[in-house]
Chain A
Amino acid sequence: MFGTHEKFNLQRPAYGREGSGFFLYEDFYNHLLRLTCYKSGEMISRSGFQFDLKLFADGQEQEYTYFADEGSLRLDCDKGYAEIALTAEDHLRIRGTASLHLCLRPAIPEEGTSACRGVYQMANGDWEGAFGKFGMLRLRKLAGDMKVVAPWNSEKGMYDEVTFVFESDGGVYEAAVFEDMTEFTQLPDTFDAFDDVVANNKKCFAEFKKNYRNVPDEYKETANYCMWQIWSHKCKAVGGFKEPMIFMHLHWMIIAVSWQQTYNAMATLNNAKEAKRLIGTMFEHQDPDTGALPFGVSYYGGGKGGTPQPPFQGLGFAFLFDQFGDDLFTYDEAVKLYPKVKKWVEFWLTNRSAGRGDDVTAILSSHESGWDDASIFNDGFPAANPDVMSFIILCMEALSKLAKSSHQYAASEEWASRSKKLLDTLVNEFWDGEKFITRVNGKPVESMSAVCYEPIILGKRLPQHIIDTVAEKLTDEKTFLSPYGITGESMMSPLSGYGNRFILGRCVAPLNMLLSLGLCLAGKKKEAEKIARRFCDRIKEKGVILGFAPYDYYPLTGEKVPDLVDFEDVPVPSDGWPWSGWSACNTMIMLSHVIPEGMKEE
């Protein structure tokens, strides 16, 4: 899957495993593999808790190549090898013949080894390391030799180096490295054979892939990478996570972001139970007073306050009802879920009301739409934006269905009526004949953003003339449809930028999914397929990255993009560099639904 000589190395994807706290990646500059743990939430550009992996033989450092798949990651040099298998039981396993050195090296050199507060050898020979906010490590030798090199510098108040050494005493060495953020309980006395750990990892991934529908043959490898990306970014219920959730990144945004759990639910089209579970995860962290869902959940839980993400669950519910039927939720499930969704919707209708006396909302920050730099926010806030209103329409519809499933028929009727009414308002007041418009204090905002067409997610609820216009606009290759999919801002917009931007110009996975899925739901399946294929073909070539610049020049002016190289070709602590769980699930929706639906039209 990944390796020195493979299509993709581990510079952009992080090597993880479902349920593992540890992950590894390749350092962009020195090409050493690096080991760390996600739980502190510290980005790799800042974290002091990172270990270089070095191989030694006969006292000499060796150059190595590596290969990794879902089973294990293996380093090879001329004089031997080392292999690492991650597990879901808070430890990783090591074996090898060439000596493996794990050398603590922080992201910021000036910090030295300060991340390591201390190392201590216990009576049974295990070593324990205390790493402050990064937690604790426990190292256990299973075969061969193990030692810790950590000379204390009393002047600096830290170690001169911290190196964990695993080496052979003639045969194959083996070891286990445990991590915990709280305290170690009894460590296991016996361990599975290393090969069994590897086999178990492969089996786990194979089982996981069954959650997803088949994809066209030409995308099977791409889908495998996407599913691996999601699987490796799936945490277990540990720390603040009440349920397994899926991270956006392991390198940078080490958070299970709110709306992304619903995106992931929408991709899980072969397992309705798992899809429902995923969409419900954020409600476990709901503020009981306000009804707000937090921006995301980290190892330390979902915080209160702060900027909420949009009520994207509306689309998730609508899509899942469409795929699995209106009786998707049992009576008991609906009874449990209905009040939570209701409280979430009421948060929006109360705290983000546009003050008109109806259900039109107005947000206070771009992050509440999910589109941090969309040009629909050029005139500031409060902004009554149709994309969020579309989610509210679908949320109300979902509430109607959940109410019905929980035998609250009057409430069901009322929510259905409110949903319809808001839809009518959206069509009558927020469509200008060409696009949907955002209003600030009643005035329309001039914008050439693709977000103006996001209400297409309402599918056939929209009048046909709107569907036809949206399809026409989004497939215009002068404005929005680039070789790599839909650009977030029209290519003819002076605001369009491809460097350090989110959607103000680039083609990004979630927007391409939303717009292509919307067209698909609206009956424009060939147009949808065309868009989806363009984006997915780029993913196939470049990896499961969040977004791409459509060109290295701006079509409006012909000017070369000045900062593109800086942004795309070197690690930048942002959305753009690493493989992303968010990109993976969106690509899977396009691969397993949008494209096959389009192919059926042939």
Chain B
Amino acid sequence: MIKDYPLDITRVPFSRRTAGCMIFCEENGAQLDADNGLYLSQNVESVLMGGAQFLRNKNYLLITPVLGAEPVEYTYSATMSKITIKADAGIIEITFDRDRGMRIKADKLGIRLTAKMGFGDVAALNGTAAKIEMDTGVFNIVPKVGTITVDSHYDLLMYRYSDPVIELIPDDGKLEVTVYDRTYDPGMEQTGTFEECVAAMEEDLNAFADILVDVPDGLETLIYGLWIAEKPFRETIDMYPSNVVTAVYPIAKEQPILALPFKCTKKAAELITNFGEYTTKQGLVPEYVKRSMELFQTVGMDYGYAALDLLDKGDVSGEDAAKIYDFLATVNRWWTNNRTNDGGISFFYAYNFECGNLKSSTIKMGTPAITPDLMTRMILLAQALAAYAEKIGAESAAAVWKETADARYRFLMEKLWKDGKFVCMLADGTEYESDSVMCCAPIMLGKTLCADAAKAVADTVVNKFLVPGKGITVEAGEEDIDTVTMSLIISGLADAGFAAEAKAAADAVMEFIAENGLYAEYSAVTAPEKRCAALYQPVACAAVLAAVSKTL
């Protein structure tokens, strides 16, 4: 039960599932040419019209508690359901209601909001409320008790509104305001008292935690990081952006990872198949999808692994199974039509970026390259297709897919398993070694991988890549760590029966998280920078939750 759990909003913003608004504390404002302090922002994708000539700070409003007209010294504390700002003269509390409104309640204090405007931004009173439009963020600030003023004028020579000063003024010492995002409807009625909203937030967070895999104490912020990331996308589907503050759009390769920590098979199935809507006629899964565009290039993705993992969790409905089967078959079709020279046995990356890491030594000889991680993904894909074909009653298709998976596995072991390690190969057959941990990716085959190879890989992970107290590096002897890659290796070790090795790696990660917080990428040597949006990216949260759960 997560209750009154402290939240460090210098590392992860205060927000709520489906709410656009968020608050974070900036301590490195100098890097942004901005003041340190508490900021109100929104989870929206920036749309810079025409290019950088219209660049501005994103939709950040600096929050300054005031007494009358004067700023006051304050301290603040945050839990996962409330922020409390205290000054000698009074107090401000902030939470969210069920309708995605940010509720603010203040006693004796007022609030000043300031921002830097850009081209097309507007700050104006709208009746008794205020509407602030910054880039694609829309703040509808609606006082229930108290008043609001907006000091901003259109500057003809700058083609924009002057930087606004918005004052939330208490009435007889009391202030109650709700900040809505773009979805505000003036006719909507507020439900729930402030205290009821706090309780409802906790209830919702705990309900979310209940559909996740079991994890030990100490990972509550990861659960929270995943919970707040569930945001409306294109106003129709709830999808997980890559980063709620900065990269506010979903990335395809993250979706199967996001599925891993969910016990709820329906939710996991949704995450596995959500990019099906954006797939091209030829089956290309776009690398990412933004508010109004898709990037139609692709990278290797772990759909097969996630789909098999889902089957292990519980009862996947027939409808979900069919949907997953269709999607996996689509992915397989594209790779078979475009990235194989032998009819779908072996696969190559045609472009360096398709491996997901431009600095990976798996592509040091250039491309087209056949690598152990890609072969692992394609084996898992075929295995998943076989399993789901069986699930939906397509027995003969299941047999074909199983044979395909076996053929791909044979290629992996006959062509890429050399002298006790996995190697890479150019499309012309030239073999080469790589110090990348992706050469250990075959451990994700679990019990499919033959015992000798699995043992060799497990030993390699521990001896060459694992840094105590930090995690698993991307390249042997180097410092970069990628949390998702690391988590998949840990999960693979557990799946393959190397519980001790998996636990050792998981413990190293947990130790790092306890000290520094969770990063998607970090160094095993240099202390990471602490900035909100640099930590607790949803995919990293999901990957670690899933991996740690497997080591219990």
Chain A residues at the B interface, C-beta cutoff of 8 Å = 41-43, 45-47, 117-118, 120, 123, 128, 130, 132-133, 135-136, 152, 154, 157-158, 181-183, 185, 240, 252-255, 298-301, 303, 305-307, 364-367, 372-375, 377-382, 495, 497, 501-502, 504, 573-574
Contact = CB atoms under 8 A, between A and B. Distances in A.
B351 A117 contact: yes
A330 B201 CA distance: 56
B122 A157 contact: no
B292 A133 contact: no
B250 to A, nearest CB: 16
Contacts of B280: 182-183
Contact of B154 (A154, A240, A381): A381
B351 A118 contact: yes
Contact of A252 (B50, B154, B156, B294): B50
Nearest to B47: A303
B5 interface: no
A118 B367 contact: yes
B284 interface: yes
Nearest to B152: A380
Contacts of A42: 51
B53 interface: yes
Given A118-B350, A118-B352, 18 more contacts: A45-B51, A46-B51, A117-B297, A118-B354, A120-B367, A182-B294, A182-B296, A183-B282, A183-B296, A300-B293, A301-B292, A372-B159, A373-B156, A373-B157, A375-B156, A381-B124, A495-B156, A501-B157
B351 A130 contact: yes
A307 B297 CA distance: 32
Chain B interface size range: 35 or more
**7 closest A-B pairs (Cβ-Cβ)?**
A118-B351, A43-B51, A157-B358, A300-B292, A46-B51, A380-B153, A300-B293
B295 interface: yes
Quick one: which of B133, B153, B156, B280 has the most chain A CB within 10 A? B156
A120 B154 contact: no
Interface string B321-363: 0000000000000000000010000000011111000110000
A303 B293 contact: no
Given A118-B367, A307-B122, A378-B156, A254 B50 contact: yes
Nearest to A156: B358
B359 A157 contact: yes
Interface string B114-145: 00000010101000000101001010000000
Contacts of B53: 43, 45, 573-574
Nearest to A129: B351
Contacts of B188: none
Contacts of B51: 42-43, 45-47, 573
A120 B284 CA distance: 17
A554 to B, nearest CB: 15
Interface string B144-166: 00000000011011010100000
Interface string B296-326: 1100000000000000000000000000000
B237 to A, nearest CB: 16
A558 to B, nearest CB: 21
A367 B182 contact: no
B353 A154 contact: no
Contacts, number: 116
A38 B474 CA distance: 38
B418 interface: no
Interface of B: 47, 49-53, 120, 122, 124, 131, 133, 136, 138, 153-154, 156-157, 159, 161, 182, 280-282, 284, 291-297, 341, 350-354, 358-359, 364, 366-368
Given A152-B366, A364-B124, A573-B53, A120 B291 contact: no
Contact of A181 (B133, B296, B352): B296
A299 B138 CA distance: 24
A154 B359 contact: yes
Nearest to A123: B341
A187 to B, nearest CB: 14
A120 B339 CA distance: 11
Contacts of B350: 118, 120, 128
Given A152-B352, A252-B50, A306 B120 contact: yes
A301 B182 CA distance: 20
Given A305-B136, A380-B153, A130 B297 contact: yes
Nearest to A302: B292
A41 B359 contact: no
Nearest to A371: B156
Given A43-B50, A373-B159, A377-B154, A154 B364 contact: yes
A496 B284 CA distance: 54
Contact of A365 (B50, B122, B182, B293): B122
B353 A130 contact: yes
B14 to A, nearest CB: 25
B367 A504 contact: no
6 contacts: A42-B51, A46-B51, A123-B341, A154-B359, A307-B122, A373-B157
Contacts of A46: 51-52
A120 B368 contact: yes
A42 B153 CA distance: 30
B156 A504 contact: yes
Contacts of A183: 280-282, 284, 296
Contacts of A497: 157
B50 A117 contact: no
Contacts of A382: 124
A414 B280 CA distance: 49
A117 B353 contact: yes
Given A120-B351, A183-B282, A254-B50, A133 B156 contact: no
A15 to B, nearest CB: 20
A43 to B, nearest CB: 4
Contacts of B124: 364, 381-382
Given A240-B292, A303-B291, A366 B154 contact: yes
B275 to A, nearest CB: 14
A128 B351 CA distance: 10
B293 A133 contact: yes
A314 to B, nearest CB: 23
Contacts of B353: 117-118, 130
A364 B136 CA distance: 16
A303 B133 CA distance: 15
B140 to A, nearest CB: 12
B329 to A, nearest CB: 18
B480 to A, nearest CB: 13
A132 B292 contact: no
Contacts of A573: 50-51, 53
Contacts of A300: 292-293
Contact of B122 (A158, A364, A502): A364
Nearest to B122: A365
Contacts of B367: 118, 120
Contacts of B293: 133, 299-300
Contacts of A254: 50
Contact of B297 (A132, A379, A504): A132
Contacts of B351: 117-118, 120, 130
A79 B53 CA distance: 41
A106 to B, nearest CB: 13
Contacts of A375: 156
A299 to B, nearest CB: 8
Contacts of A372: 159
Contacts of A128: 350
Given A183-B282, A183-B296, A41 B182 contact: no
Contacts of A45: 51, 53
A84 B282 CA distance: 31
Nearest to A254: B50
Contacts of A123: 341
Contacts of A379: 153
Contacts of A377: 154, 156
Contacts of A132: 295, 297
Nearest to B368: A120
Quick one: which of B53, B136, B154, B296 has the most chain A CB within 10 A? B154
